[in-house]
Structure 1
Amino acid sequence: MAEPDNSPRTVACPPAPDGCGAPAGEPCMSHGGTRVRHNFHRARSVAWNQARIAQSAAVSLIQQAATQRRGMHAKHAVELLEQHGFVAEAALIQRAVKERNGLMSAKQAAALLLEAAEGGEDR
Structure 2
Amino acid sequence: MRKCTPPAAPTCEVTYTVHGSWPQGFTTQVTLKNTGRKAIDGWSLKWSFLGGQKVVHDWNASLTQQGATVTAANAHHNKKIKPGHSVTFGFNGVSAPGANPTPDLFLLNGAACA
Q: TM-score, normalised by structure 2?
A: 0.24
Higher share of residues assigned helix: 1
Q: Normalised by the size of structure 1, how large is the TM-score?
A: 0.23
Larger relative contact order (Cα-Cα within 8 Å, sequence gap ≥ 6): 2
More strand per residue: 2
